[in-house]
Amino acid sequence: MPLTTQATPTTYWLEHAWLGSHVEPGVTLETAEGRIAALRTGDATPPPGATVLRGLTLPGLANAHSHAFHRALRGTVQVGSGTFWTWREIMYAVADRLTPDSYFALARAVYAEMALAGITCVGEFHYLHHAPGGIRYDDPNAMGEALIAAAADAGIRITLLDTAYLSSGFGAPPDQHQLRFSDGTADRWAQRADALKEDREHVRIGAAIHSVRAVPAGQLGTVAEWARERQAPLHVHLSEQTAENDACRAAHGRTPTQLLADHGALGRRTTAVHATHLTDQDIALLGGSTTGVCMCPTTERDLADGIGPAARVQSAGSPLSLGSDSHAVIDLLEEARAMELDERLRTRTRGHWTAAALLRAATADGHAALGWDDAGTLETGALADLTTIALDSVRTAGPLPRLAAETAVFAASAADVRHTIVGGRQIVRDGVHTLVPDVPAALAESIAAVRG
């Protein structure tokens, strides 16, 4: 049964709840029409008829950056050594084999894995639009609609970040693999993206610029304006590789960040993904425009991209969010702790973010980056999207309950997620997905179908 607003009001009793600044014991939360209708503290025991959620309950986690089909690369791209660019060739080979039906099956399984990890909303950075050779499907958005349907079947929300990908690099035509990604021009991209509708409760539609190398400079403004007119999120891969910075300077005499600024692509609805290799001026441009930054530490370290200046961009004014990107692992708690621990390794000092600040990146700020400003907090009126983490596993047992946020961020993993609730409905109950009966089998079957 796909995601729909709960039919009847439900009362949940939270053994411990993270309320943004502290852990509160004994919280009763009432839901109605998919939202938090009331929240009461000080209930030492569950009210009659309440569904009991033991452990630490957080707002649902937001995965702000995903490429669903990259999940099929797990394991394969870890064989031997290689570089980002050899990894990309393997990725292209998987993309070449996907159809709307096989992509639906794969994404459904991947999004179910996300639900098991406590993720209630995903930002899907979607650029695999067309059939091999760039031939359009009868429905030009067949691949995007497959992702939207997959999220519904897996029980989570999705912001489909429909991506403009027009060039193999600073004006060069797409190569044979990239023909599936390209609409030819930004105007044609916009015409196709216009047909995507937000008429389903689990969907938001946003835009993405794949990168400054994949969208010619003169067409960046078209994508930015499309998002601005709709007040929609706009995401962009930014300075993930030093090679991109070097090529941009050679082509345009400026950094990728400056190029985006010159074409009106920065701002509070924009999220720069990775932002690994920035100049001081780049950081000032991002922070001064309140452009968000999405860090993806497990992918950035898997691809040897480097450690981005997350602390500096946040200090400059950029809100931070988190994503699992290529899905080397799907674990937002790991992404949160990795951001802090990577910064410790880089600076050889501790304490750059509190557990509360890291949880905010994984919840409220992640949802805001995806256009869901009414999610990511436990308060009356917010969407009733919740994640409960066990406090009695081998990883989490022992610390005092008042330290549950620190325990969750610095010790727990996706395996400790006990319950996931979306729109007031339990999607994961006691670690079992209620809509996809056997998630490992669904993953294995869908990945085998696209394996070379």
Angle at 217 between CA 211 and CA 219, to 5 degrees: 95
Residue 301 exposed, middle or buried by CB count within 10 Å (0-12, 13-18, 19+):
middle
Is 96 known to be catalytic? Answer: no
Residue 279 exposed, middle or buried by CB count within 10 Å (0-12, 13-18, 19+):
middle
Q: What is the DSSP string of 251-283?
A: HHSS-HHHHHHHTT--STTEEEEE--S--HHHH
Residue 83 exposed, middle or buried by CB count within 10 Å (0-12, 13-18, 19+):
exposed
Q: How far apart are CA 340 and CA 356, in angstroms?
A: 12
The residue type at 218: G
Catalytic residue among 210, 274, 327, 367: 274
For residue 325, give the DSSP letter. B
Catalytic residue among 302, 325, 342, 385: 325
Q: How far is CA 250 from the centre of its chain?
A: 32
* Extended beta strands in 91-155, E state: 119-126
Q: Give the residues across from 209 on adjacent strands.
A: 164, 236
Q: What is the DSSP string of 141-204?
A: THHHHHHHHHHHHHT-EEEEEEEE---SBTTBPP-TTGGGT--SSHHHHHHHHTT----STTEE
- Give me the sheet containing 157-164, strands edge to edge: 61-66, 119-126, 157-164, 203-209, 234-238, 270-274, 292-295, 320-322
> What end-to-end distance do the CA atoms of the chain give, in Å?
32
Structural element, H or E, at residue 344: helix 332-347
Is 325 known to be catalytic? Answer: yes
Q: How far apart are CA 351 and CA 447, in angstroms?
A: 40
Distances (CA, A) of 343 to 275, 307, 336, 347, 397: 14, 7, 11, 6, 27
Active site residues: 274, 325
